Chains A and B, each alone.
Chain A
Amino acid sequence: MQRLIEFGWRLLPFAVVILIWYAVRWSGVVDQGLLPPPHLVFLDIWKRSTEGTFLLDAWVSIRRVLLGLFFGMLLAVPIGFLIGWNRTIRRFVDPLVNFFRALPPIALIPLAIVYLGIGEVAKVAILFYAAFFAGVIVMYEGMSQINPLFIRVSRTLGATDWEVFYKVILPLTVPHVLTATRVALGVAWATLVASELVAAQNGLGAVIQNASAFFQLTTIYAGIVAIGTFALIMDTMLRMASRRFLDWQERVVQ
């Protein structure tokens, strides 16, 4: 019962948004032709899923995000770790990281197309780039916040360098890895859609792009709703993982 109520609270805001959506449509503020009603959007998702390639497009997008995120974090964790740990490395790498991070990944899409074509590799490469720079910054800021007191305590208990590393620093890194992954995930979704809008035959971004060419507003909305839903589901899964693994934290990453 408690869980049901909790679940209800999660859904409530979305129900309210849908109601406002209907209200805006019926109030006549916006031309009815320019704002399809929610039920038609859901119907469109259903029809395109059962009769068309919508699910396949969704899967293509999700796979790109996951691959980009995976490779991005695979590199961001050790690199962020090194930068956070070593002052000399940090001084050297910091300006570079900030330069590349300030550069929107979307700006690299034309370059990626030139070098890597318009296939999967180009898309995953851009997502890798986006995920890496979002992740690395969270990682190393987190790392540099690690309380040196814990390292001192472990030394007075007799820990060697290696033991300090894997018994103290590593467990303290886990929260930052999870936070970095969540941030990178958000950035990856945003970048994915942009790259699919520019050059893709499939994926949710391409669905939206094609629908826009034919002025199929309902399908544009269907694509947007689907992207939001998948991004939210992935984020929720990460949050649940945080809660499970970071039980010990004063404030669980919410």
Chain B
Amino acid sequence: MTGETAPGEDGSPKVVFQNVSKSFGAIEVVRDVSFEIHDGDFIAVVGPSGCGKTTMMNMLAGFTKPDGGAVLLDGRPVAGPGPDRGVMFQDYGVFPWLTVEKNIRFGLELAVKRGMTKAQKNETVEKYMAQMRLTDFRNAWPKNLSGGMKQRLALARAYAANPRFLLMDEPFGALDAQTRSDMHDLLLEIMQAERKTALLITHSAEEAIYLANRILVVSARPSRIVEEINIPFGDNRDRDLLDSHEFIELRRHLRDVVMKQYAEQQALR
């Protein structure tokens, strides 16, 4: 829909963080971070809170600009937010003044989507509403939805706008364990149906391993990438995986690495 063809089809990186640095006043938050995101990647970023993960994501989303280095998207520096990069936040960001259906429709009624016909828009809304199991609640106000439903709504709304990227900032952090794991499976399901290149910020080692194909462990502030872990499970993810020997080993390792960084971040306070 965006019209641009991604130079990522051949496997060249779509997103490049090139020696990115960022400070807020005297606080250096990100220092000389470099990494690449390839077409179809699902990257999880794990690190202690306050270390600068949200700041990194915001630079890709286009909410803030780096002080040094560059965040490149298809070879060009990110200029601002845009419909090619959908974002999910921990506190949902669902529009409270719109019903479930109108929330999903919001992105489709904007000028950027004027190329779509009315029928295409309706079809898109119905499709994602059904996929996120929200059809029965189409006329409900967000205030009457549970946390899990709000996050499903946010996901449906993001997908309806048909972005190439899905950026998620601790989207499941506020949910209870059961809802969280349902959300994981729902996310995997929609990702398998329609692949997006994804960046997920999370605190949970388990969540990162279960969802991502690559994990970046970020240090205490100022954040650098201390370790990159490849997750070898491919599309083969279900609940049984959680009990596998390989999964448990990976989780142990990731927790060790992260715990060390947590300890350093604590010392910073």
Residue positions of A touching B, CB distance < 8 A: 149-150, 152-160, 163, 167-168, 171-172, 174, 247-250
Cβ B106 vs Cβ A167 within 8 A: yes
Contact: B96 with A249, CB < 8 Å? yes
| Minimum-distance CB pairs A-B, first 4 | A158-B83, A157-B107, A158-B112, A155-B81
How many of B's residues come within 8 Å of A, CB to CB? 31
A174 to B98, CA, bound (A): 13
9 A-B pairs whose Cβ atoms sit less than 8 Å apart in the complex: A153-B95, A155-B62, A156-B61, A156-B82, A156-B85, A156-B86, A157-B110, A157-B161, A167-B106
Contacts of B157 in A (CB 8 A): 157
Contacting residues, chain B, for A171 (C-beta < 8 A): 97-98
For A159, what are the chain B residues with a Cβ–Cβ distance below 8 Å?
A: 110
Determine if B81 and A163 form an interchain contact, defined as CB atoms under 8 angstroms apart. no
A residues within 8 A CB of B62? 155
Interface contacts beyond A156-B61, A156-B82, A158-B82: sample of 11 additional A-B pairs, CB < 8 Å, sorted by A: A150-B95, A152-B89, A156-B83, A156-B86, A158-B110, A158-B112, A159-B110, A167-B106, A167-B109, A248-B98, A248-B141
Given A157-B157, A157-B161; A152-B107 close (CB under 8 Å): no
**Also in contact, A247 and B83, with CB within 8 A (given A153-B93, A157-B110, A159-B110):** no
Q: For the complex, what is the distance from the CA of A243 to the CA of B163, rounded to whole Å?
A: 37
Complex CA–CA separation, A168 to B86 (angstroms): 17
Question: Given the complex, which residues of B lie within 8 Å of A249, measured CB to CB?
Answer: 96, 143
Residue B91 at the A interface, CB < 8 A?
yes
Q: Which residue of B lies closest to A171 (CB)?
A: B97
User: What separation, in Å, do the CA atoms of A158 and B106 have in the docked complex?
Assistant: 10
Chain A residues, Cβ within 8 Å of B81: 152, 155-156
Query: In the complex, what residues of A have CB within 8 A of residue B86's CB?
Result: 156-157
